[in-house]
Structure 1
Amino acid sequence: MLIPSLAGLVGGTVLPLLGAVPDGAIMLFSGLGDIDDAQESLSVGVGALAGSTIMLLTIPWFLSVYSGRVSIISKNGGKTLNYHGKPKLTPKLTDGTGVQATTTIKHGATIMILTIVPFLLIQIPASVIGRSDEAELAAKERWFAFVAFFICITGFVLYLYVQVKISHTGEDTDKRTAIMKRLILSGEISISAALSDTVSIEARRMDNENKQKNQNYYSSMEEYFEQENPSNFRIPSAVKDLLHEILRELFSKYDLDHSNDLDRVETSTLLMDLNEHVSNDELEKTFKRYDSDNDGVINYDEFVSALYGIMMSRYHRKNINNLENSLVDSEGRPINNDEVVDEQSEEEDMPDDFAHLSPDEQKKAILRRSIFLLGVGTTMVLVFSDPMVDVMKEVAVRTNIPSFYVSFILAPLASNASEVIASIYYASKKTRKTITVSLSALEGAASMNNTFCLAILMGLIYFRGLAWEYTAETIAIVVVQIIVGSMVLRSDIITTFQASIILLLFPLSIMFIAIMKALGFD
């Protein structure tokens, strides 16, 4: 997500898939080995699936709503959320606070409910077949499992396609903007790097409009952004929208005296925290140009223009020494006469913190490190999943607790901790955008479990001849998703009280499964 041009691929495809890999690996290894042993071990995989899905939709769901809640206020005869108030939250009863059920969250709930269909495709025939020995049951369920497997794979591919398409059409801008803000403020990336793709597209457009393709052109463009009257150049809407999304809240935070203006000290502090290192001389030049009324402060619009000017002048300054790599053809595509990049010097000087690097260098370094870490992490998950299945089976034996319940509790803690922490982090910002990121991520994780992870179980049943004997678990998974999805779809506000009810579904699910098994439903 540090590279905007790859945000659709990463956010819509890579991250959901990697989030499902730990659970999927546990399920896969639970069904391997000797056939008799695999049938017994499969309950570990089913427990991981049920525990992961139900846990994500209950405990972190409640914590996200609780962390992101704001006061519900009466307005124009109806109820609305106090996202623009100061403070946003005042002490009230739980039914007096809540979060916005945005369109994106509602879409996620709809997709989640639709993806439970494969559970029904295997469970309904299994219930109709009734009790029989495992071999006979497996033989009768085999082709139903194949149909469910095919539907899961199809649903998985369609889900990824929809997510990538949404990303490319900009419908997940809120998610990317929230991630950008977090990374910028944590010092992991500069705002120039975060917006480098958008800025470079605009710069190439301006380059293409100019007829002089020579070094003097780039020098003049640098001077243009450093000397021209700010009112004479236009900030492209794509860049302006991103700057507004990132800067609006930050500007108020750094406006210490609440004057709706920033003085030199406040401006310098904000620029430093955006990882834009500006010298005192540059700061003086900036104020001289953008402080239109010469009162020693700049307002919000002036600050946005100033930051845009700083980014563009630096972009063109860099291109003075890289002219050949910056030429464009008649359609605005870069003409690269020399693809050679001095990677050796980049690697030698590469620090842990990329903030001081140029935008292009940051992107290359981030891409390399991301691919490496994703590869290492995925490999570690696959390596340790098989031993983890054995550990959970051994814990079950030593505690005399069925392996299903052990995996129901332990597997989600091991595989979904990062998703829980991330969701709570975003929700705590108390904005519509961040609560959308938080809750839609949890819904997406459930949808991945319903497609990618369930496909693994259905594949094991079909290809290995195992039996599906998990009526209670299936009912619990389906019912929890329907309840959560229905609560989201029926109202534009998710109250803290409703989230508390959802939280109770986790222990109730365990009780329900235990009672159903005691009654012999499996």
Structure 2
Amino acid sequence: MDNNNNKLQLLLLSLFLLAITAVHSRSVPDSTPSDLISDGINSNNNHNQRGPQYLLLNPFIKAEEESSSSTCEQTYGFLPCTTTVLGNLFLIIVYGYLMYVAATYLSNGSELLLEILGPGVVGGLFLPILGALPDAMLILVSGLSGTKETAQSQVSVGMGLLAGSTVMLSTVIWGTCVVVGKCDLRESDSVAIDGQNTKGLRLTGTGVSTDVWTCYAARIMAISVIPFVVVQLPQMLNSTSGRHLAVLIALILSVSMLISYCLYQVFQPWIQKRRLAFAKHKHVISGILKHLRQRALGRLLTDSGEPNIDVIKKLFDAIDENKDECLSASELKALIIGIRFEEIDLDQDDAVSKVLGDFDTSNDSHIDIKEFINGLEKWLNEAMQARTGSADPGPHTMKFLDDFHLQTKREHALLGAGEESDEVAEGVENPKWVSFKAVLMLLIGTIIAAAFADPLVDAVDNFSAATSIPSFFISFIALPFATNSSEAVSAIIFASRKKIRTASLTFSELYGAVTMNNILCLSVFLALVYARGLTWDFSSEVLVILIVCLVMGAFASFRTNFPLWTCSIAYALYPFSLALVYVLDYFFGWS
């Protein structure tokens, strides 16, 4: 056994000596960095290489040295900058918080100004613009500074913010408002019951309801994507010659839509009041017709659909208390007092004036038998023309009067009539001081947004370079939460009051914010692209905006009741948008 061990040891020693005789090595100079060692190859035998070749012991040391050797450019020459991942992440958080502060100042200052000056020009013109100001500032600085090449690389931050704000407000915030604002839905018509939330998380038994004005806001939001389609037409047609012209046309169109939208916002309160007055007028007509039908000694219409003169004369005689063959204002008021107008706060004198306006063609403040017959015939024809049933009920059944009454009642409710604001309208004490405070807050918010928009864009760009994450995705996810967080929080808090009116105002504000993103922020973006001669290459981003706005716009344009399950559609659109941009950009090479 010992003899065998000695032979084995001798064999191993011989192999070791043979191996070291074939090894070539060289010395490492003293000037060599401590983290390098020789690769064992004699540089003298390799004429293509100069100097000793070394292996890197710690590659991370090399990366850190390269990172520390690269420099960053300080914004304004004094604001901090860094090339490290954590450093840029910290700067994004700090600058993002400052943009949130700016948005808060702008929002609070706008509300104070609205309390003093009221709606109209302030509510329709200044508030929407000020609400989108932080986003517009970030988009502006993303393509304004630096060379054309730098602007082309940084402008993706602006597009990411534009797309991210639109998608976030339309999906995540929209769905959250449905969840926090849900109430029990009536089984008869699926309308939310104010303040009642006893069914838990039932997907079909709970939800929110809005008025018809909210539907109009959703339609405007869907229409606001038209400039995106225009600027994208050359890419859709595979044309390179008309891209610059398409940017100009889309810019003109978006500015025109911005002006039109602001004018609509200015005059919208007047439009709403007129629509409410018209709806109330129709409700008065339907209520009186229904009451007269119940009091009539026979059918108001003959089998041929003509007014039944005998029955109408009997009605006239029943209303004419003093038998002077004329109906006075006091007699009409007595008639209206006897009518129970459901869910409508009716001014009786106003109702009398409406009846006189429709019946009294002689303008003598009295209605004779001929005027009564003609006026009643006009009302009956209007009721018959307004019926919505597919089957013709026929004049002998008079069912169309019930349908007309239900229709006017629903229109009256959809317009938000009879719903008073939760906020108590109070006079503003010391309006001069409040005005000064509002202007000061607006000024501070504007200065902060203008001052820190450029550093935030630089931090996002540096973070993107340090992490190799495209700047679009950083701005798409992170920046909207900074610039729109104040608006989002206030919308969620307002929706949590669980009333139809507050839900209507909440969703209208969301649709309005998206509309301003699509026209104001896009106008700024298109102006940058056109003025600096940048390349429009954002097909995937535009497609995401189109899908989200059209889906949510169409979804909210033709319905006023949203069960709880609808929030799942909104939530699903957010990750879908991110995934779609990633697939189109990195698998199909759209950008």
| SS of structure 2 residue aligned to 1:377 | helix
After superposition, the C-alpha distances for 1:249-271 in whole angstroms (9 at most, x for unaligned) are: 79xxxxxxxxxxxxxxxxxxxxx
Structure number having the greater helix percentage: 1
C-alpha separation between the residues in 2 aligned to 1:471 and 1:87?
A: 45
One-letter amino acid of the counterpart of residue 163, structure 2: A
Match of 1:521 in 2: 590
Match of 1:39 in 2: 152
| SS of structure 2 residue aligned to 1:98 | strand
C-alpha separation between the residues in 2 aligned to 1:400 and 1:44?
A: 14
Match of 1:100 in 2: 209
Preserved contact between residue 119 and residue 148 of structure 1 (Cα < 8 Å): yes
CA distance 1:417–1:403, change in 2 (3 Å) = same
User: 1:486 is matched with which residue: 554, 570, 585?
Assistant: 554
Match of 1:245 in 2: 420
Which residues in structure 2 correspond to 1:357-436 (within 5 Å)?
A: 359=427, 361-436=429-504
**Cα RMSD for the two superposed structures:** 2.8
| SS of structure 2 residue aligned to 1:494 | strand
C-alpha separation between the residues in 2 aligned to 1:242 and 1:444?
A: 21
CA distance 1:100–1:172, change in 2 (3 Å) = farther
Would you say how many aligned residue pairs link Structure 1 and Structure 2?
342
One-letter amino acid of the counterpart of residue 380, structure 1: I
C-alpha separation between the residues in 1 aligned to 2:118 and 2:436?
A: 13
What are structure 2's unaligned runs of at least 5 residues? 1-110, 277-346, 351-415
| SS of structure 2 residue aligned to 1:74 | coil
After superposition, the C-alpha distances for 1:118-150 in whole angstroms (9 at most, x for unaligned) are: 0000112123236xxxxxx5x641111000000
The reply on whether 1:66 has 2:134 as its aligned counterpart is no
One-letter amino acid of the counterpart of residue 143, structure 1: L
| SS of structure 1 residue aligned to 2:187 | strand
Match of 1:152 in 2: 254
Alpha-carbon shift at residue 4 of structure 1 (Å): 5.4
Alpha-carbon shift at residue 18 of structure 1 (Å): 1.0
Which residues in structure 2 correspond to 1:75-154 (within 5 Å)?
A: 75=188, 78-83=189-194, 87-129=196-238, 137=240, 140-154=242-256
TM-score relative to the length of structure 2: 0.54
Match of 1:7 in 2: 119
CA distance 1:173–1:426, change in 2 (3 Å) = farther
% of aligned pairs identical? 30
C-alpha separation between the residues in 2 aligned to 1:437 and 1:92?
A: 23
Preserved contact between residue 167 and residue 173 of structure 1 (Cα < 8 Å): no
Preserved contact between residue 214 and residue 508 of structure 2 (Cα < 8 Å): yes
Alpha-carbon shift at residue 425 of structure 1 (Å): 1.1
CA distance 1:425–1:61, change in 2 (3 Å) = same
Match of 2:87 in 1: none
C-alpha separation between the residues in 1 aligned to 2:420 and 2:525?
A: 42
C-alpha separation between the residues in 1 aligned to 2:567 and 2:158?
A: 28
Alpha-carbon shift at residue 363 of structure 1 (Å): 2.1
User: 2:536 is matched with which residue: 468, 490, 497?
Assistant: 468
CA distance 1:360–1:418, change in 2 (3 Å) = closer
CA distance 1:244–1:451, change in 2 (3 Å) = closer
* Structure with higher RCO (Cα < 8 A, 6+ apart): 1
What are structure 1's unaligned runs of at least 5 residues? 131-136, 175-233, 251-273, 277-358
One-letter amino acid of the counterpart of residue 373, structure 1: M
Preserved contact between residue 215 and residue 559 of structure 2 (Cα < 8 Å): no
Alpha-carbon shift at residue 419 of structure 1 (Å): 0.7
CA distance 1:444–1:275, change in 2 (3 Å) = closer
TM-score relative to the length of structure 1: 0.61
Preserved contact between residue 184 and residue 196 of structure 2 (Cα < 8 Å): no
Preserved contact between residue 119 and residue 266 of structure 2 (Cα < 8 Å): no
Alpha-carbon shift at residue 173 of structure 1 (Å): 13
C-alpha separation between the residues in 2 aligned to 1:70 and 1:510?
A: 31
C-alpha separation between the residues in 2 aligned to 1:384 and 1:396?
A: 18
One-letter amino acid of the counterpart of residue 138, structure 2: I
C-alpha separation between the residues in 1 aligned to 2:225 and 2:485?
A: 24
